[in-house]
């Protein structure tokens, strides 16, 4: 998410590396650590995992970055590969967006970024139907408190329950129903106005331009 990053001192985006077909596409990008594992930005990601009893594949990884300042790493897991936002959003089955924090973020900043990301990528008529659920998610974020450096935040879609999210494996709040809500959240990462365009490219397995 687009947390505040003191942009007065960090004035431009640097290039980041994307995953495509399990191979690096530029520079010293992701590298296979061992069977079923991939190293990206010094952290090891599973290339396959299970959500709601279904095996998901690592679709891509990216980093939210302004100049040299890196806010968090992100990974997208889907049932099958997707190279466009439309494919990722429309795909059936469970999904996971994983965020690995690289610095502390207050709950208010997390919530603000979530709201802004959804609003920027959701048509006005649809946004109205999400209002109560956005508020519910915001309250859950507030109750969880700050996310810390090295925390792992999993944002999962369980089609039978909706958004199920956790911090370091600990569930936070009740599920938020509706695949439309999760689709809006996913578009904030990979939609037309994402938190970070180069991170979007990485999550979709594309070379960062």
pLDDT tens profile 57-94: 999 999 998 777 899 999 999 999 999 999 999 999 99
Residue pair 163/185 in contact by the 8 Å Cβ criterion: yes
Given this model, what pLDDT does residue 35 score? 72
**114 CA to centre of own chain:** 11
Q: What are the pLDDT digits (tens) for 8-52? A: 332 222 222 222 223 333 333 577 666 788 999 999 999 999 999
Task: Identify the pLDDT of residue 33.
Answer: 61
Sketch the domain layout of the chain as residue ranges.
48-203
Q: Which residues lie across from 155 on neighbouring strands? A: 97, 165
Q: What pLDDT is recorded for position 25?
A: 30
Can you give the pTM of this predicted structure? 0.84
Confirm if 17 and 29 have CB atoms less than 8 A apart: yes
Q: Per-residue pLDDT averaged across 94-118, rounded?
A: 96
The C-alpha atoms of residue 133 and residue 139 are separated, in whole angstroms, by 10
48-203 — its CATH code? Answer: 3.50.70.10
């Amino acid at each position: 998410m687009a947390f505040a990053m003191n942009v007065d001192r960090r004035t431009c985006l640097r290039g980041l590396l994307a995953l495509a077909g399990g191979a690096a596409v530029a520079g010293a990008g992701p590298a296979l650590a061992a069977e079923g594992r991939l190293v990206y930005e010094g952290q090891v990601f599973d290339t396959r995992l299970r959500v709601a009893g279904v095996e998901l594949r690592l679709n891509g990884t990216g980093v939210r970055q302004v100049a040299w300042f890196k806010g968090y790493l992100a990974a997208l897991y889907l049932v099958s590969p997707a190279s466009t936002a439309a494919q990722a959003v429309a795909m059936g089955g469970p999904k996971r967006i994983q965020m690995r924090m690289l610095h502390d973020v207050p709950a208010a900043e997390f919530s603000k970024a979530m709201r802004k990301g959804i609003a920027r990528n959701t048509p006005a008529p649809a946004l109205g139907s999400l209002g109560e659920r956005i508020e519910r998610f915001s309250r859950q974020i507030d109750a969880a408190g700050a996310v810390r450096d090295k925390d792992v935040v999993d944002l999962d879609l369980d089609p039978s329950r909706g958004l199920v999210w956790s911090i370091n494996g600990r569930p936070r709040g009740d599920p938020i129903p509706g695949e439309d809500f999760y689709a809006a959240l996913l578009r904030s990462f990979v939609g037309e106005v994402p938190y970070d365009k180069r991170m979007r490219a990485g999550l979709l397995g594309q070379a960062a331009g």
